[in-house]
Amino acid sequence: MRLERVAAQVPVGARLADIGSDHGYLPVALLRRGVISAALAGEVAVTPYHAAQRTVRDNGLEQQISVRLADGLVAIEPQDGITAISLCGMGGETIRDILERGKARLSGQELLILQPNGGEQPLRQWLMDNGYRILVEDVLRENRFDYEIIVAARAEPVQYTAQQLFFGPLHLQVRSPAFLGKWQRRLRQHQRTLAGLARARQTIPEHKVQELTQQARWISALLEQGQAL
Ligand SMILES: C[S@@+](CC[C@H](N)C(=O)[O-])C[C@H]1O[C@@H](n2cnc3c(N)ncnc32)[C@H](O)[C@@H]1O
């Protein structure tokens, strides 16, 4: 379901670079459905790289999907003419670091389709700092995890507030049941963490306690406001 929701964000006819592709399921499924015209699957680790090669071979898609053993965006060459990049199933900080290290490989024309497992705030911060606008935000719950999907493209500079970076600017407008459900659960986690920190106060930096307290306030306020009009 998670990868299906990611797949729904990939434009028809795209030339997709799926970085951290693991088994290569996303590019293979999209090519089989005729959604994309070509793809590359990038992997930094040998075992998933071989798994992606196998999936591509088993589906007879070697002509359309190139599987490359490479760290992050190093897998992408200018002649690939990539129009969309997916980075899914990694921490938001890892996705941010891959984008930061690979900046020189970005033409600025690619749609970024990101599915961070946590760390959304630093990822949104990177997008804002690097001239990207968030076009779509989605969240889904599967196997007791809340997965976020962020689609972004280079655009006019945009300034997001601290709360927009924390919750997601579009989520804050729409306030879907899945989004509110995620933050209901997060509030309980925050409260448990803060109660634990109160007991161990000496060993925890004060700024960390303040940050968590601030976030718990934001979440409470969000949930009190409830559904958007
Ligand atoms: C948990 S899997 C997610 C696979 C798939 N994208 C998905 O969403 O189901 C993360 C994959 O990213 C790969 N990965 C992590 N860092 C990477 C990097 N710097 N460059 C390329 N691949 C990376 C890992 O080897 C692993 O196979």
pTM of the predicted protein model: 0.95
Per-residue pLDDT of the chain (229 residues; tens, 9 = 90+): 999 999 999 999 999 999 999 999 999 999 999 999 999 999 999 999 999 999 999 999 999 999 999 999 999 999 999 999 999 999 999 999 999 999 999 999 999 999 999 999 999 999 999 999 999 999 999 999 999 999 999 999 899 999 999 999 999 999 999 999 999 999 998 888 888 887 876 677 888 888 889 999 999 999 998 654 3
Are 101 and 184 members of one domain? no
Q: How far is the CA of 22 from the centre of ligand 1 (A)?
A: 6
Give how far Cα 27 sits from Cα of 57, 95, 139, 149, 218, Å. Answer: 13, 18, 21, 17, 38
The last residue of one of the domains, among 115, 132, 160, is 160
Query: What's the confidence (pLDDT) of residue 225?
Result: 85
Query: What's the confidence (pLDDT) of residue 228?
Result: 46
What residues contact residue 221 under an 8 Å CB cut-off, 6+ apart? none
- The domain containing residue 214 runs over which residues? 178-225
Whether 170 is covered by a domain: the verdict is: no
Are 25 and 130 members of one domain? yes
- The enclosing H or E element of 108 equals none
Whether 85 is covered by a domain: the verdict is: yes
Top mutation candidate among 6, 10, 26, 44 for ligand 1, by most atoms within 8 Å of CB = 44
The last residue of one of the domains, among 132, 160, 188, is 160
Query: What's the confidence (pLDDT) of residue 36?
Result: 98
Q: What is the mean pLDDT of the chain?
A: 94
CATH code of the domain in which 87 resides = 3.40.50.150
Top mutation candidate among 19, 23, 145 for ligand 1, by most atoms within 8 Å of CB = 19
Whether 134 is covered by a domain: the verdict is: yes
Are 80 and 146 members of one domain? yes
User: Is the beta carbon of 116 within 6 A of some atom in ligand 1?
Assistant: no
Q: Are 190 and 215 in contact (CB under 8 A)?
A: yes
Are 107 and 204 members of one domain? no
Are 146 and 192 members of one domain? no
- What is the domain count for the chain? 2
Query: What's the confidence (pLDDT) of residue 202?
Result: 63
Whether 166 is covered by a domain: the verdict is: no
Query: What's the confidence (pLDDT) of residue 134?
Result: 98
Are 40 and 96 members of one domain? yes
Q: Are strands 132-142 and 38-43 parallel, antiparallel or unpaired?
A: unpaired
Gap between the Cα atoms of 109 and 211, Å rounded: 36
Are 15 and 123 members of one domain? yes
Are 72 and 120 members of one domain? yes
Whether 103 is covered by a domain: the verdict is: yes
Ligand 1, residue 72: give the atom nearest the CA.
Answer: 20
Query: What's the confidence (pLDDT) of residue 226?
Result: 64
Q: Are 22 and 89 in contact (CB under 8 A)?
A: yes
Query: What's the confidence (pLDDT) of residue 196?
Result: 85
Query: What's the confidence (pLDDT) of residue 199?
Result: 80
Give how far Cα 194 sits from Cα of 61, 210, 216, Å. Answer: 51, 10, 9
Top mutation candidate among 2, 18, 21 for ligand 1, by most atoms within 8 Å of CB = 21
The last residue of one of the domains, among 126, 160, 194, is 160
For 115, other C-beta atoms within 10 Å of its C-beta total 24
Are 148 and 182 members of one domain? no
3-class DSSP assignment, residue 151: strand
Are 182 and 86 members of one domain? no
Are 122 and 80 members of one domain? yes
Q: How far is the CA of 87 from the centre of ligand 1 (A)?
A: 8
User: Is the beta carbon of 93 within 6 A of some atom in ligand 1?
Assistant: no
Are 192 and 156 members of one domain? no
Whether 53 is covered by a domain: the verdict is: yes
